[in-house]
Chains A and B, each alone.
Chain A
Amino acid sequence: MLSVSHLTCQRGERVLFRDLSFALPASQWLQVAGSNGAGKTSLLRILAGLSEPAEGQVTWKGRRLREDRAAFHADLLYLGHQGALKEELTPLENLTLGLGMEGFSPGEEAAAEALGRFGLQGREQLPTRYLSAGQRRRVLLCRLMLRPAPLWILDEPFTALDVHAVGVLSRLIERHLASGGSAVLTSHQAMPLPPGLSVTL
């Protein structure tokens, strides 16, 4: 379970949010809402342990993130704004090499199957620079199928997706929640998911 107490985030001289506390139990998801520049991404980065809050603390399974970074990161799947995709590599290489560095080796067949489910069959061997923004986004989302992790932190997962991909993604998230996982998502619009918790910045 992820819990956050008295979190304050400061960027330069501006305070983005102050004294933020919440807890996210298993099988639940949390929507982080707020206008542009309200600090949604900053909050996600703090939750993921990428940056330190000015005040307050984040705990996972009752332990502070800093205490055991490796254990927390083994439980965490984070998808940020940026793609983390290499334009010169094919989608297949991007997936297998990226996951390889995280210590997972799903195998090419599993990776190809995941790409297929997001409608990318036939494009596995094409350099990623020939893919559209939405297709790149889908390559990234394949990680959700290939790397098991109880906690998902996804920044704007539904942007740039077509109806079919939105359907696949929401089914993935539902299944993740049903199997005891939890998720933190940011979004501007309403999400095609069963009702969850929400925080507005």
Chain B
Amino acid sequence: MSTSLINWFKFASPASFYPMAGRLVPWFSAAALLLAAAGLWVGLAIAPTDAQQGEGYRIIFVHVPASWMSMFIYCVMAFWSALGLSFNTRLSGMMTSALAPTGALFAFLSLWTGSLWGKPMWGAWWVWDARLTSQLILFFLYLGFIALQAAIDDPRRADKAGAILALVGVVNVPIIYFSVQWWNTLHQGASVSMTKAPSMAHTMLAGMLLMALAFWAYTIAMALIRVRCIILERELTSEWVKKNAME
């Protein structure tokens, strides 16, 4: 990454980031709504019935994007954490904490929809499948991160401790996934996979991608709104907040 960008992050005061984030929020919210409408239309109305799984497969239009986002958001949190710890930038800690609740929501939704998919397909609400189990652990990692930050009063320490935890977590996620997969094959062998539906039709893929983009835009919008809240809460007494509030 170029040094000018790092310098920008280092010195970008929350005061200058705050209005910029505010201008971006409506765009990403609108994009999320439009993409979701298009994705739902393609996924629910146009995409053909799956030969094996019948109409039940339509759950993947929300399940897969939610799972992708929950994993992706954790990686983004780790990226901000690394940036924050190595260059001591103030914004990165705020971005990390702004992303965590949305990531936790997606991890939960991924579990919920996975379980609803599993009941008709596997005949049980919960199966100790490698993906489902890893997703559950990812959910626990999100909860741990949120709980740790909530328990520390000093925001600077909360940011740094959270950053360390996020980095430890991101190193562990692949190890956990691998170990659960190992454990799973030892005990019950391969099971029907959700995403490896044979010869997925083009419209199915299109619907899934549209929904994934919608979730993406939603995540950015939520993170920006939340980071604005965090900035305000931390800088309530600072000059620029007071001045702006008076205008």
Query: Does A12 make an interface contact (CB < 8 A)?
Result: yes
- B-contacting residues, A1-28, CB 8 Å: 12-13
Give the size range of A's interface with the partner.
under 10
**Chain B residues with CB under 8 A of A12:** 153-155
A12–B234 Cα distance when bound, in Å, is: 9
| A-side interface mostly | loop
A15–B153 Cα distance when bound, in Å, is: 17
Query: Does B237 make an interface contact (CB < 8 A)?
Result: yes
CB distance from A67 to the nearest CB of B (A): 16
**Chain A residues with CB under 8 A of B153:** 12
A12–B237 Cα distance when bound, in Å, is: 11
CB distance from B9 to the nearest CB of A (A): 18
CB distance from B236 to the nearest CB of A (A): 8
Smallest Cβ-Cβ distance to A10: which chain B residue? B156
| B-side interface mostly | loop
**Chain A residues with CB under 8 A of B236:** 13
A12–B152 Cα distance when bound, in Å, is: 12
A12–B155 Cα distance when bound, in Å, is: 7
Smallest Cβ-Cβ distance to A13: which chain B residue? B237
Interface flags for B125-162 (1: CB within 8 Å of A; 0: not) read 00000000000000000000000000001110000000
CB distance from A176 to the nearest CB of B (A): 35
Smallest Cβ-Cβ distance to B235: which chain A residue? A13
A12–B236 Cα distance when bound, in Å, is: 12
**Chain A residues with CB under 8 A of B155:** 12
**Chain A residues with CB under 8 A of B154:** 12
Smallest Cβ-Cβ distance to A54: which chain B residue? B156
A13–B238 Cα distance when bound, in Å, is: 8
A12–B238 Cα distance when bound, in Å, is: 12
CB distance from B163 to the nearest CB of A (A): 15
Smallest Cβ-Cβ distance to B153: which chain A residue? A12
- A-contacting residues, B212-236, CB 8 Å: 234, 236
A18–B51 Cα distance when bound, in Å, is: 71
A186–B115 Cα distance when bound, in Å, is: 63
CB distance from B156 to the nearest CB of A (A): 9
**Chain A residues with CB under 8 A of B237:** 13
Smallest Cβ-Cβ distance to B155: which chain A residue? A12
Smallest Cβ-Cβ distance to A14: which chain B residue? B237
A143–B91 Cα distance when bound, in Å, is: 43
CB distance from B153 to the nearest CB of A (A): 8
CB distance from B164 to the nearest CB of A (A): 16
A31–B236 Cα distance when bound, in Å, is: 35
Smallest Cβ-Cβ distance to A12: which chain B residue? B154
A131–B74 Cα distance when bound, in Å, is: 52
CB distance from A65 to the nearest CB of B (A): 15
A91–B155 Cα distance when bound, in Å, is: 39
A12–B233 Cα distance when bound, in Å, is: 12
Smallest Cβ-Cβ distance to B88: which chain A residue? A52
A13–B153 Cα distance when bound, in Å, is: 12
CB distance from A57 to the nearest CB of B (A): 13
A12–B157 Cα distance when bound, in Å, is: 10
A13–B154 Cα distance when bound, in Å, is: 10
A16–B109 Cα distance when bound, in Å, is: 46
A13–B237 Cα distance when bound, in Å, is: 7
A13–B241 Cα distance when bound, in Å, is: 13
Partner-B contacts on A (CB < 8 A): 12-13
Q: Which 6 A-B pairs have the closest CB atoms?
A: A13-B237, A12-B154, A13-B236, A12-B155, A12-B153, A13-B234
Q: What are some 6 contacts across the A-B interface (CB < 8 A)?
A: A12-B153, A12-B154, A12-B155, A13-B234, A13-B236, A13-B237
